[in-house]
């Protein structure tokens, strides 16, 4: 599933090619994505893309009088292809520009293409999203304040997109290891110092993944058409039973909220 780093890599990959360009035509070969592609998307021809923004895992193509909201779902990818590139079976939507096509491929069709002419942050899908982790909005004091009223353990808390967006399962385990915090610790018991370390660890982990081109993802294809994902050398994720890279203890696997968590019982308290 594309995580925040893959979406950000996609944003950075496509923005220089579509910003300031006019959508010449929209081709929808299969409108049945997670929600049916609305008629407003078909009417985008003639609009200029002013910027490509991101909120959580949503890409927002700013078209001046509204935004095209794109979500890659479970298996979606956006690529820039030549105007004569023959669409494959799962290439459902094309935004055609003068010299290139921005093509949405989505084999499982859990992705979404929607239009909003209001402020995107007020859209029902985006309204409840939590703090954006790669901005200054997330820091120690903010994380400390957010955790105070929570009855959750810190690992599921981090993965709750209504609190902080885009910290997926891999990144939650890795960040907690870097911050030295046990995944089952009650969120509200974290000290201010814990929260400062954790906020920094989240940023570090996500930025490293973005630099690496996003973490491993079978269906992700970089916007240049090259498979762009590289599994980073993980500290703990998917390393059950293996030696901790810091202390040598065996990495432990537990399940929290139906998701696997990996951690070191010696390094994380
Ligand atoms: Zn350790």
Of 122, 154, 189, which residue sits at a domain end? 122
What residues have CB less than 8 Å from 257, skipping those under 6 apart?
155, 156, 159
Domain coverage including residue 144 = 140-263
Give a yes or no: residue 161 inside a domain: yes
How far is residue 218's CA from residue 220's CA, in Å, rounded to a whole number?
6
Q: Phi and psi (nearest 5°) for 155?
A: -65, -55
- Concerning whether 87 is annotated as a catalytic residue, the answer is no
Higher pLDDT, 63 or 210: 63
Q: What percent of the chain has pLDDT over 70?
A: 93
Quick: pLDDT tens for 16-71: 999 999 999 999 999 999 999 999 999 999 999 999 999 999 999 999 999 999 99
Same domain, 117 and 149: no
Give a yes or no: residue 131 inside a domain: no
Give a yes or no: residue 129 inside a domain: no
- Concerning whether 2 is annotated as a catalytic residue, the answer is yes
How far is residue 20's CA from residue 97's CA, in Å, rounded to a whole number?
11
Helix ranges restricted to H, the chain: 4-18, 39-42, 140-147, 154-158, 169-179, 192-211
Quick: pLDDT tens for 172-185: 999 999 999 999 99
Q: Taking a C-beta distance cutoff of 8 angstroms, is the pair 221, 77 a contact?
A: yes
Residue 97 Cα to ligand 1 middle (Å)? 51
Domain tally, the chain: 2
Residue 224 Cα to ligand 1 middle (Å)? 38
Same domain, 95 and 150: no
CATH number, domain of 94, equals 3.20.190.10
Give a yes or no: residue 135 inside a domain: no
Give a yes or no: residue 229 inside a domain: yes
Residue 263 Cα to ligand 1 middle (Å)? 8
Give a yes or no: residue 205 inside a domain: yes
Q: Taking a C-beta distance cutoff of 8 angstroms, is the pair 107, 90 a contact?
A: yes
Of 70, 95, 122, which residue sits at a domain end? 122
Mean pLDDT of all residues belonging to the chain:
92
What would the two tokens of residue 203 be? 């940023």
Structure pTM? 0.91
Same domain, 117 and 229: no
> Residue 233 — very low, low, confident or very high, per pLDDT cuts 50/70/90?
confident
Q: Is the four-CA dihedral 147, 150, 151, 157 of positive or negative sign?
A: negative
> Residue 219 — very low, low, confident or very high, per pLDDT cuts 50/70/90?
very low
- Concerning whether 54 is annotated as a catalytic residue, the answer is no
Would the pLDDT of 221 be above 80? no
Same domain, 115 and 158: no
Q: What is the pLDDT of residue 231?
A: 53
Q: Taking a C-beta distance cutoff of 8 angstroms, is the pair 78, 70 a contact?
A: yes
Quick: pLDDT tens for 138-167: 999 999 999 999 999 999 999 999 999 999
Same domain, 74 and 146: no
Residue 3 Cα to ligand 1 middle (Å)? 26
Q: What is the pLDDT of residue 216?
A: 42
Give a yes or no: residue 74 inside a domain: yes
- Concerning whether 53 is annotated as a catalytic residue, the answer is no
Which of 11, 57, 105, 163 is an active site residue? 57
Q: What is the pLDDT of residue 225?
A: 41
Give a yes or no: residue 85 inside a domain: yes
Would the pLDDT of 215 be above 70? no
């Amino acid at each position: 599933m594309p995580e925040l780093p893959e979406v950000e890599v996609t944003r950075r990959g496509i923005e220089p090619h579509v910003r300031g360009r006019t959508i010449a035509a929209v081709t929808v070969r299969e409108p049945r994505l997670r929600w049916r592609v609305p008629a407003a998307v078909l009417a985008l021809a003639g609009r200029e893309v002013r910027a490509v923004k991101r909120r959580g895992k949503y890409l927002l193509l700013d078209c001046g009088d509204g935004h095209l909201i794109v979500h890659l779902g479970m298996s979606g990818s956006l690529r820039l292809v030549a105007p004569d590139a023959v669409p494959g079976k799962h290439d459902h939507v094309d935004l055609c520009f003068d010299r290139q096509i921005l093509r949405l491929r989505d084999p499982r069709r859990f992705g979404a293409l929607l239009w909003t002419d209001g402020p995107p942050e007020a859209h029902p899908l985006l309204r409840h999203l939590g703090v954006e982790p790669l901005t200054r909005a997330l820091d120690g004091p903010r994380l400390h304040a957010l955790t105070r009223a929570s009855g959750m353990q810190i690992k599921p808390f981090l993965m709750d997109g209504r609190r902080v967006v885009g910290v997926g399962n891999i990144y939650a385990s890795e960040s907690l290891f870097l911050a030295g915090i046990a995944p089952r610790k009650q969120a509200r018991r974290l000290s201010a110092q814990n929260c400062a370390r954790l906020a920094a660890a989240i940023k570090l982990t996500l930025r490293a993944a973005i630099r690496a081109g996003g973490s491993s993802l079978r269906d992700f294809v970089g916007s240049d058409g090259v498979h762009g994902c590289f599994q980073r050398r993980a500290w703990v994720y998917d390393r059950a039973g293996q030696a901790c890279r810091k202390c040598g203890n065996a990495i432990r696997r537990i399940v929290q909220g139906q998701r696997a968590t990996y951690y070191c019982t010696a390094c994380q308290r």
